[in-house]
């Protein structure tokens, strides 16, 4: 079975040691994806990593999960012996990738530890600004600067959730419905066929396999997605929609920052007028917060104006679960406000990076925040002397 048949048996044994993800219908896939391994091998050949080990000048720790059957103690010590001042640390009870035999959570567990170790050794580790600003990044920073830092600067991976995967499934199904059928062919039956195709794709993704759902959980996920797609038809008639863009990736540079957004759907309303459409699979906000929930689609409207030279006549949020549509017509003042807010938030991110000052902002969102185990608001960790100085007002 290629490509396994082409793999050296010893190397394949190492990959198998990384464990498996369960897939629907009882099959499995290697947690240690062969395509990733091929990239590592390619980098090793290109940069001669093994030959360069003796030139490393910074202090290093070779961390080895004591239950790893991928990196032996002997091999870890042999690597350390080639380095100046390196040591081997055996991490009791851990696999090659951490507490689970996968690589999903290991960066979040270990990076803060090594980063802190680097700081205590006086190694300069400046924070880098993210390369782009999107509506979701902007909202994340405003909600909690520390969660923003963990997600978009440290890039600690976040485990996926059932809600996220369901959202991906519904969005992809609707994209397929619009891209594969026109006019009267955009029926409920066609939408369910699209869901089936989308499920084939999503069920192979790391986002889904990381959930480790059993058959009942997977069935419930797909059934719920089917309900949401059915409810979509209560909100609009897709046979009369003239879409001119699906999953449209728009970028523009403003005030030195690249603003980016991926628009679910851009419609031609006739007469050269456009509408930005965004699907939501979560709950609709209470009426007193409905205006602020439109911030993301206003951002998309601003991108349309910058990139396409045309301000959309309408921005529309479609809450499939509650069967609610929120729509507005963006004004000149509204567009100016979006630009000013984006630039102000970017300036705040820039300042926070320069001062390494990203503070926790506890709220109801903490309940679902993957960074709780790292967050001082939950661990009770006191800031270091440097952090305390940086956070002192004035």
Binding site for ligand SF4 (CB under 6 A): 144, 146-147, 360-362, 365-366, 369, 371-372, 375, 377-378
Task: Please list, residue by residue across 301-317, b when 16 or more beta carbons sit within 10 angstroms of its beta carbon and e when fewer do.
Answer: bbbbbbeeeebbbbbbb
Output 304 or 369, the one with its CB closest to ligand SF4: 369
Taking the complex as a whole, how short is the minimal distance between the CB of residue 145 and ligand SF4, in angstroms?
Answer: 8
Burial of 263 (0-12, 13-18, 19+ CB in 10 A): buried
C-beta separation of 318 from 236 below 8 A:
yes
Taking the complex as a whole, how short is the minimal distance between the CB of residue 320 and ligand SF4, in angstroms?
Answer: 26
Output 20 or 378, the one with its CB closest to ligand SF4: 378
Output 31 or 369, the one with its CB closest to ligand SF4: 369
Output 188 or 359, the one with its CB closest to ligand SF4: 359
> Helix, strand or coil for residue 167?
helix
Helix H or strand E encompassing 260: strand 257-270
Output 176 or 370, the one with its CB closest to ligand SF4: 370
Taking the complex as a whole, how short is the minimal distance between the CB of residue 142 and ligand SF4, in angstroms?
Answer: 12
Q: Are strands 87-91 and 61-65 parallel, antiparallel or unpaired?
A: parallel
Taking the complex as a whole, how short is the minimal distance between the CB of residue 158 and ligand SF4, in angstroms?
Answer: 10
> What are the DSSP calls for 62-113, one per residue?
EEEETT-SSS-HHHHHHHHHTSTT-EEEEETT-BTTBSSSSSSSHHHHHHHH
Taking the complex as a whole, how short is the minimal distance between the CB of residue 140 and ligand SF4, in angstroms?
Answer: 9
Taking the complex as a whole, how short is the minimal distance between the CB of residue 147 and ligand SF4, in angstroms?
Answer: 4
At residue 14, φ and ψ (nearest 5 deg) are -65, -40
Output 110 or 378, the one with its CB closest to ligand SF4: 378
Report DSSP state, residue 372: G
């Amino acid at each position: 079975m290629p490509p396994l048949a082409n793999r050296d048996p010893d190397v394949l044994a190492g990959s198998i040691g990384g464990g498996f993800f369960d897939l629907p219908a009882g099959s499995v896939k290697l947690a240690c994806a062969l395509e990733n391994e091929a990239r590592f091998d390619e980098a090793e050949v290109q940069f001669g990593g093994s030959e360069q080990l003796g030139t490393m000048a910074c202090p290093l720790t070779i961390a080895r999960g004591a239950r790893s059957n991928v990196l032996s103690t002997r091999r870890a010590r042999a690597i350390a012996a080639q380095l100046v001042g390196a040591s081997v640390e055996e991490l009791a009870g851990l696999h090659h990738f951490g507490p689970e035999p996968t690589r999903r959570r290991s960066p979040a567990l270990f990076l803060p530890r090594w980063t802190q170790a680097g700081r205590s050794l006086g190694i300069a580790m400046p924070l880098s600004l993210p390369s782009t600003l999107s509506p979701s990044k902007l909202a994340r920073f405003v909600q909690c600067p520390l969660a923003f830092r963990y997600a978009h600067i440290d890039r600690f991976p976040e485990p996926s959730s059932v809600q996220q995967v369901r959202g991906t499934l519904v969005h992809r199904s609707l994209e397929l419905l619009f891209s594969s059928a026109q006019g009267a062919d955009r029926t409920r039956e066609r939408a369910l066929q699209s869901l089936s195709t989308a499920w084939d794709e999503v069920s192979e993704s790391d986002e889904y396999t990381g959930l480790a759902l059993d058959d009942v959980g997977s069935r419930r996920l797909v059934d719920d997605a089917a309900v949401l797609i059915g409810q979509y038809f209560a909100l609009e008639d897709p046979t009369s929609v003239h879409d001119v863009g699906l999953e449209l990736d728009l970028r523009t540079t403003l005030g030195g920052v690249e603003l980016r957004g991926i628009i679910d759907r851009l419609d031609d309303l006739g007469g050269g007028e456009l509408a930005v459409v965004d699907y939501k699979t979560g709950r609709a906000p209470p009426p007193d917060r409905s205006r602020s929930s439109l911030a993301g689609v206003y951002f998309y409207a601003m991108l349309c104006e910058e990139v396409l030279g045309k301000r959309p006549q309408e921005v529309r949020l479609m809450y499939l679960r509650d069967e609610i549509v929120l729509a507005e017509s963006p004004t000149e003042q509204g567009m100016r406000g979006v630009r000013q807010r984006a630039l102000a938030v970017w300036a705040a991110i820039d300042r926070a990076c320069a001062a390494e000052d990203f503070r926790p902002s506890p709220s109801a969102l903490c309940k679902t925040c993957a960074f709780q185990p790292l967050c001082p608001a939950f661990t009770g960790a006191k800031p270091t002397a440097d952090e305390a100085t940086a956070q002192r007002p004035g």
